[in-house]
Amino acid sequence: MKKACELTGRSRATFYRRHRPPASVPPRPVPKPHRERVQPRALSARERERVLEVLNSERFRDASPAHVWATLLDEGGYLASWRTFYRILAAAGQTGERRAQASHPSHVKPELLVCAPNQVWTWDITKLKGRSKHEYYYLYVILDVYSRYVVGWLLAPNESGELAKELVSQTCEKYGVDTSGLTVHADRGSSMTSKTLALLLADLDIVRSHSRPRVSNDNPFSESQCKTLKYRPEFPDRFDSIEQARRFCRGFFTWYNTAHKHSGIGYLSPAAVYFGLAGQAHAARARVLDAAYAAHPERFVNRRPVPPPLPKPAGINTKPDDQAEPVTDGAPERSEVIPRQRSKQGSNAG
């Protein structure tokens, strides 16, 4: 064979390669599609069914996954993370908006900085539809900015500065607020800028603050609270009477203050933050998550699970100082208001 290759001028390697082909290699198996692969740390089919069963239960069917997760955590239960809740709902086709959402242009960040309860209150008036076409009931709501706690509300058949004055006065008396360290923020409605209310705030040494004209996002906390009210599943299109509207508001504000898990304060209830119980609730959640980690550490890949952080300073048109320590003992401090200037209309001069 060597001599023959030399005479023909052919390489022996070429001859052997062409006349002695290698044995056929079995084809490589087709890789399994990514969607069909099973993650060893994933929930079992029974656990996923259990999560879906809880989310669709009578108790939680109208609540967000984050609200369900926080409620179960407070009760000492843990099924999975709230992001896993969303994934399970998405797989079942149960995610998406229930109502059409309006898209608003971005505005300048909401001029007040607050680090504790009873430093800045914001309030607004919203209309509830009555039985007839042009019949409305006016709902006055005062909200503590730091804790999102509704400190006072009033439902009346009309809008007036006298009613606003009465509500502010009674709310300050009810909670024994140090009015010299309080700022009340509102938009520029007729009741908000009335002379009657301005004189009361001046007498109580309360600083007034107003939104800029035609900028509703300067009062974001009250606007958000009104949206929560009107997007509740049980909110009716119209109220038959003002008594029915008052009954609904009593139930709503009780739920909002004590049971609603607010995302802006670490999914705690406003009452827990307002009355200084945030630290206890945070510690209880941490113990539940530690127990969940001890039971299945393989399911927490990046780090140990921790509860949402305690509430941070809140601001309107002012960037909060992230280094400021949140207040958890329920002892309100004086507000860091920027700027702290008193309106001429609200002064006692003249």
Confidence of residue 321 (pLDDT cuts 50, 70, 90): low
Q: Does pLDDT of 189 surpass 50?
A: yes
In whole numbers, what is the pLDDT of the chain averaged over residues?
A: 83
The three-state (H, E, C) secondary structure of the chain, written as one string: CHHHHHHHCCCHHHHHHHHCCCCCCCCCCCCCCHHHCCCCCCCCHHHHHHHHHHHCCCCCCCCCHHHHHHHHHHCCCCCCCHHHHHHHHHHCCCCCCCCCCCCCCCCCCCCEEECCCCCEEEEEEEEEECCCCCCEEEEEEEEECCCCCEEEEEEECCCCHHHHHHHHHHHHHHHCCCHHHCEEEECCCCCCCCHHHHHHHHHCCCEEEECCCCCHHHCHHHHHHHHHHHCCCCCCCCCCCHHHHHHHHHHHHHHHHHCCCEHHHCCECHHHHHCCCHHHHHHHHHHHHHHHHHHCHHHCCCCCCCCCCCCCCEEECCCCCCCCCCCCCCCCCCCEECCCCCCCCCCCCC
Q: Does pLDDT of 331 surpass 80?
A: no
Q: Does pLDDT of 319 surpass 50?
A: yes
Q: Does pLDDT of 340 surpass 70?
A: no
Express as a percent the part of the chain with pLDDT over 90.
45
Highest-confidence segment of 102-111, 199-208, 322-331 = 199-208
pLDDT at residue 211 in the model: 78
Confidence of residue 106 (pLDDT cuts 50, 70, 90): low
DSSP string, 260-290: --BGGGTSB-HHHHHTT-HHHHHHHHHHHHH
pLDDT mean over 128-134: 91
The rounded distance, in Å, linking the Cα atoms of 144 and 335 is 12
pLDDT at residue 320 in the model: 53
Q: Does pLDDT of 130 surpass 50?
A: yes
pLDDT at residue 67 in the model: 93
**Domain 112-265 of CATH type 3.40.50.720:** no
pLDDT-wise least confident of 34-38, 56-60, 134-138: 34-38
Q: Does pLDDT of 44 surpass 60?
A: yes
Tens of pLDDT, residue by residue over 241-276, are: 999 999 999 999 999 999 999 988 999 999 999 999
Structural domain boundaries in the chain: 43-91, 112-265
